[in-house]
Every structure is written in structure tokens, then in C-alpha cells.
Amino acid sequence: MLGRTLREVSTALKQGHITPTELCQKCLFLIKKTKFLNAYITVSEEVALKQAEESEKRYKKGHSLGDLDGIPVAVKDNFSTSGIETTCASNMLKGYVPPYNATVVQKLLDKGAVLMGKTNLDEFAMGSGSTDGVFGPVKNPWSYSKQYRGKRKQKAHGENEDSNWLITGGSSGGSAAAVAAFTCFAALGSDTGGSTRNPAAHCGVVGFKPSYGLVSRHGLIPLVNSMDVPGILTRCVDDAAIVLGMLAGHDPRDSTTIQDPVKPFTLPTLADVNKLCIGIPKEYLAPELSSEVRSFWSKAANLFESEGAKVIEVSLPHTSYSIICYHVLCTSEVASNMARFDGLEYGHRCDINVSTEAMYAATRREGFNDVVRGRILSGNFFLLKENYENYFIKAQKVRRLIANDFVNVFNSGVDVLLTPTTLSEAVPYLEFIKEDNRTRSAQDDIFTQAVNMAGENLTSTIPEPHAKEPEQLHVTSFSYLPITNELAGIIETFVVT
């Protein structure tokens, strides 16, 4: 039952093959069984069982709230959940219980979804490994697959198996792992520079980053307001489309959401790529790109071409500037957004009370990890009066050029871009931590953050069907943008079949 698609489970619930409570208990059982993955920071067992019970009542009366009624979901721990601790994996917010639900959470609950818990992440979503949170790193469920273990044994005899687990990618690694481990059917992540797509790629699930403004950010604890979007992680594209349909649309509480009404998202059953023009950005053929990813990339391109799609090389000339530009804009907004964490209204407060300033300093030193403090420091540097023109304004100009790159490509007749999400497959934790967070983020966000800066485009990560083809375990995925209803269907058809 847990391996089925959302639609299938929904049908099973409607037909009474399984009750929401049974489904919830199955997931709770798996959550406990996979506790070692560290995917969840908080498991909201009581709340979930109560919600399941209510869902069950609705099904009994025949008043189901739709496809999501009774469906177990998980939420990244940087979305506010009323009455449930929301920590951002930081000492700063340990014990913080928001009094309100993020709009996306409320929408899921309004549709009858059952909230299993809050998932792990890098502190305040700053990272690309889900290794830098105060609750410890998230382990990639695929580390424990037969295939991966077999491979490790061949390579390194005598190595401690336990220390060779793979990272999930990040920062929404907890959500990706939760979905990959079948502990829920869908999870919310957030995506600022690739934080949904990157762990989706590493964990072999669908990671979907909606266009900026399509889904409300109200209640999402911000990293970079102008780039953050709630992301969706599921095990198949159709599931993501269903969840997106529930979440998309204007929110009066978020002035940056689109005003126009949103049409429902449905995937077509037939895939016809004859009229499709697929762009391959030549700048994405980076030297660091692993040979495996590279071969998958060309394999996918060939697949489209053989089915009649037009595949052409395109150029996004400002790509090489995007990661540094992202760094300036990201840290500047981080410096600003983190200013509210002063220990006064909520969150951690130190014991020092010599002066207000001393209290701020100690609270923030104790509350934030090195990564967060480093970004605050550099962000404040970029925003200083004497630096603002040279850094922030310049970065904004470059951001415009990067956005224009995408506009130009799509105006030239290209329907969709086919790119890798990550440079390589998921790496073992011990290897990952050899580099610091900043270096890692710069490397891992290379293919993903540019669209966050461009803003308007829809991006999706599609999993390799590793369940069916064991040799494709070392998952790599592809981003497509912009994705339309038809395209999503086409892509799924192609990759899965």
C-alpha cells in the first residue's frame, strides 16, 4: 500500500480497502523503524492519529475532502506549524512553538492530509547536504539498499559500514529521505538555490520547485525572500501535480503571490514530444560533472530526440557568474532576515544580562551555527553603505542578466531545458564533510540556483527509476524548465518507461 501512488491510495481509501488510521499507523511504524535516518526532527504521532481518525469519520460519512484526505505527509521544519515545535534545526528556535500554520501547511490540513511530523534540514536551510543542522545529519535511505551495500563491500573491505552512509543532499534532506523511505506520500521542502531539487535527486524522488509567486511563502521561515519557494517532494510526478494543485494560488498573506486564478494541474496520459523543442545549455557541461551524470544527461537527450523532439544546444552566457551573484544576494537577505532572532520575543535567550547589546551578541552566538553566522557576517558586509553599490547593486544587475538569459532562450522557441541537478551522485558523508559548507553549497547549487534568481520558471527534478533498474542506483536527475502539465507527463512517461 505504501508503495502506491497518491491517486491509487486515495482510491483505496475511498473504497475502504484501507482506513486512514491504518495508513497512518503503517507510516508511523516505518518512521520508527527508520529512525536512524534522522529524517524527522519531530514526529507528531498524536496529532497525526487524531487527524487520521477525523479523516476516517469523513470517509465513513462519504464526505471525503479530496485526493489528499487521509494521506500522510511530512513538512520541513522551517514551515510554521501551529502547536508543533518548529526549529529550523537551530538552537535559536529549539522549543519554539508557532501559534499559526504556514499557508501551505494549512492548505494541506484543510484538504484532510495527515501531518506525520517535521523533517530535518541544514540549519535555517543553509546547506546542500542536510548535514549542518543541530539535530545531526540526515542519512540517505539508499545507503542501506542491497545494491549500494554490495557495491561498498566490493570496493572497501573492512570499512565500517555504518560510517559509509550517503548524504541526502539538502537542505530539504529530511523531506526527501522521508518520502524515499515510504514514511509519507508527499513532503514539503523549500527551495532557495536548489534545496528541494538537490536532495530529491540524491534520494531518487520527485522534487518540484514551483515558480516564484505560485505558492505562498507565508509561514515559511525565510532564507532569501526573493528566491524562496515551498517545494514538493513525492515519489512520482502525478503526485507532485496533485499536491501542487492543492497549494498553488494567491494568498492574501503573501503579497508576492500571483493574483491570477490558477488552473488545475492534470497530467495527460499520452505523451507526444513531436512539437517539443528541448534546449541543452552548453554552459552546464561543467568539467566537474561526473561521467555518470553526463552519460545520463545525453541518454535522456537522445531518448527525447529519438521520439521526435527537437534537441538543440542553447547558451545561458551568464551562468558562470550566477553562483557568486547568488552568494551576495543570499547572504545579504540572510543578514537581514536573521536580525529578528535577538532572543527577545521568542527563541533562545542567553543568560547574560549585562546590557541589551551583550545579550544580543551572546544569544546570537549561542543560537546560530558557524554557517549561519558566517553568512550573516558577509551579508552585513555587502550591505554596508560603502559596499552596497559594488556588491549588492552589482549582484542585482547580474541577476537581471541571468534572468534575461532564460527569457532569451525561451523566446527563441525553446520549450524546455534539460539539465542535470547535481554534479555527481550522492556522496558518502565522510567525503562530503571534507569540504566546508560554503564550498559545498557553491558546488552543489551550480545547476539549480540560477532559476531561483530568474524566478519565473518552473523547475522539476525527476527521479531515475532505480527501483526497476538496480544499476541506476546512483541517482541523478534532471531539471526541466519551464514545466507545463503536458511536459510533466511526457517526462514521467519517458523516464519511467
Side-chain-side CA neighbours of 62 within 13 Å: the count stands at 0
User: Torsion angle, CA of 99/103/107/113, rounded to 10 degrees?
Assistant: -50
Q: Which of 346, 350, 438, 455 binds other proteins (CB under 8 A)?
A: 346
For 196, residues 6+ apart whose C-beta sits below 8 A from its C-beta are: 172, 175, 189, 190, 207, 208, 209, 231, 232, 233, 461
Q: Is residue 195 flagged as an active site residue?
A: yes
| Nearer to other proteins among residue 118 and residue 218 (C-beta) | 218
Q: Does 380 bind other proteins (CB under 8 A)?
A: yes
Q: Which of 1, 312, 324, 339 binds other proteins (CB under 8 A)?
A: 339
Contact 347, 93 (CB under 8 A): yes
For 87, residues 6+ apart whose C-beta sits below 8 A from its C-beta are: 41, 42, 77, 93, 94, 95, 96, 118, 134, 135
Of the candidates 423, 418, 405, the residue with the CA atom closest to the CA atom of residue 313: 418
Buried b (16+ CB within 10 A) or exposed e, 309-321: bbbeebebebbeb
Q: Does 340 bind other proteins (CB under 8 A)?
A: yes
Q: Does 352 bind other proteins (CB under 8 A)?
A: no
Report how far residue 224's alpha carbon sits from residue 335's, in angstroms, rounded to the nearest whole number: 10
**Count of residues interacting with other proteins (CB under 8 A):** 47
What is the nearest approach in angstroms of other proteins to the Cβ of residue 59?
Answer: 32
Report the SS3 class of residue 231. Answer: strand
- Among the candidate windows 62-70, 250-258, 262-270, 290-298, which touches other proteins by CB under 8 A? 250-258
Q: Site residues for other proteins, window 52-81 (CB under 8 A)? A: 79-80
Q: Does 82 bind other proteins (CB under 8 A)?
A: no
What is the nearest approach in angstroms of other proteins to the Cβ of residue 360?
Answer: 6
Q: How distant is the alpha carbon of residue 118 from its chain centre?
A: 14
| Nearer to other proteins among residue 91 and residue 266 (C-beta) | 91
Amino acid present at 197:
R
Q: Which of 139, 197, 209, 218 binds other proteins (CB under 8 A)?
A: 218
Phi (first) and psi of residue 182, to 5 degrees: 60, 25
Report the SS3 class of residue 314. Answer: strand
Q: Site residues for other proteins, window 83-112 (CB under 8 A)? A: 86, 88, 93, 96, 98-100, 102
Report how far residue 203's alpha carbon sits from residue 198's, in angstroms, rounded to the nearest whole number: 9
Q: Does 188 bind other proteins (CB under 8 A)?
A: no
| Nearer to other proteins among residue 111 and residue 364 (C-beta) | 364
Q: Is residue 291 flagged as an active site residue?
A: no
What is the nearest approach in angstroms of other proteins to the Cβ of residue 264?
Answer: 23
| Nearer to other proteins among residue 22 and residue 254 (C-beta) | 254
Q: Is residue 320 flagged as an active site residue?
A: no
Binding site for other proteins (CB under 8 A): 79-80, 86, 88, 93, 96, 98-100, 102, 217-222, 224-226, 252-256, 259, 332-333, 335-336, 338-342, 344-346, 353, 356-357, 360, 380, 383-385, 388, 392
Catalytic residue numbers, as ranges: 76, 171, 195
